[in-house]
Structure 1
Amino acid sequence: KVRKRLKEGDTLVVWDLDRAFRSTLEALLEVKKLRERGIEFQIVTLCLDTSTPSGVLCYTVMAAFAEFERTNLIERTKQGMEAARKRGKRIGRPFKLTKKQIHHAHKEISVGNSTIATMAKDLDCSRDTLSKSFKRLELNV
């Protein structure tokens, strides 16, 4: 979105190359397009001038290293998540409700003191979240 709003004379500033583009090819093509539109490109962590041949060479090499690092980071993240799963660690967002809250809600609903809608409101969650919590703990309502 930002790139579309840039006009001639502007400068696109990014913190680091591996955060700006997904691949070497994308990095090279995007900077070429920017230069053709009269837009400068700066990377905060690198002092590169992409308007000179030597700057373009350095940029090309750095783009390749950035893609390499990004690919390695993705692979290490996947390996770490898989290792955590094997250790029994749950990956993902924490559950909204504690087991104690779920069991309390189940008891209140089961004895007729409350409804799913009322308990969900009391617990500040949706009816769907409460129902899924019952299913997760294998509690029938």
Structure 2
Amino acid sequence: MLVCDHKKPPPSDQLHSDTPNGAPVKNPSQNVPPVTRPAGRFRYRRAAWDLFGYTRVSTAAQSLDGQIDALVGAGADERWIVRETGSGRRDDRPELTALLEQLRGGDTLVVVRLDRLGRSAAHLAGLVRDLDERGVTLRSLTEALDTATPAGRFVVHVLAAMAQMEADLIRERTLDGLAAARARGRVGGRPRVMTQEKIAAARSALDDGQPLASVARVLGVSESSIRRHVPRTTDVSAAV
């Protein structure tokens, strides 16, 4: 008698399985794309983990590799690390500006050192305070700063106090310097082009009938400067 060995067909999720012991393999057609937020002006598609890095060097001759390696070692994906070349004292840093505009509450910004972000203590304190108010965490590897921790929030307040102190010291030094200059008979500001000697020479030459253009050329000043300092100046050459 012929006996047929009927086996139960495998589940559909085990079809085309290449793994040992028939381990189930997820059907590629069932893959669900990860949820991403709108990219906006950000040049890269947002990552699901919302961890972004920022690197900067002052000149093109310098390399960003060291900073990138450090950020990757800290958990940042190299695809979400923004690179920029430019002095930290410049206000126009488009890559940093675009990144800051796209950061949202719950995001984390990682840098190797705080000086990669700020031009001065005042600028850095303002930037850190803005990120904190928006719910964005800032991490700096060198300073071991993490604004998500109580110690990190304390550093934010210290930076703000340092920025205020820096501004007060600059103002105090400026006022002291101006007072010292006035005590020595010096007045701040741009030096005057027309000194009293030049004004007297211009008035005398013009009274003698010399053309305004010639007087200005001899004195090394513009005709408008002479008109400003010698009232009712008449250009003899133009009147003829």
TM over 0.5: same fold? yes
What is the number of residues matched between the two proteins? 125
SS in 2 for 1:113: coil
Indicate yes or no: 2:177 matched with 1:74: no
Residue 16 of structure 1 corresponds to which residue in structure 2?
120
Code of the aligned partner of 2:226: L
Q: Which has a greater percent of helix?
A: 1
Contiguous gaps of at least 5 residues in structure 2: 1-90, 104-108, 234-240
1:21-75 superposed Cα distances (whole Å, 9 cap, x missing partner): 7xx7x56642335x54x69697xxx846454322332132022022112112202
Contiguous gaps of at least 5 residues in structure 1: none
Bigger radius of gyration among the two? 2
Code of the aligned partner of 2:203: H
| Structure-2 separation of matches of 1:30 and 1:120 | 58
Residue 148 of structure 2 corresponds to which residue in structure 1?
52
SS in 2 for 1:7: helix
| Structure-2 separation of matches of 1:50 and 1:130 | 62
Residue 112 of structure 1 corresponds to which residue in structure 2?
209
Residue 65 of structure 1 corresponds to which residue in structure 2?
162
Residue 30 of structure 1 corresponds to which residue in structure 2?
130
Q: How has the CA–CA distance of structure 1 residues 85 and 65 changed in structure 2, closer, same or farther, with 3 Å as cutoff?
A: same
With normalisation by structure 1, the TM-score equals: 0.59
Indicate yes or no: 2:184 matched with 1:87: yes
| Structure-1 separation of matches of 2:138 and 2:165 | 25
RMSD (Å), alpha carbons: 3.9
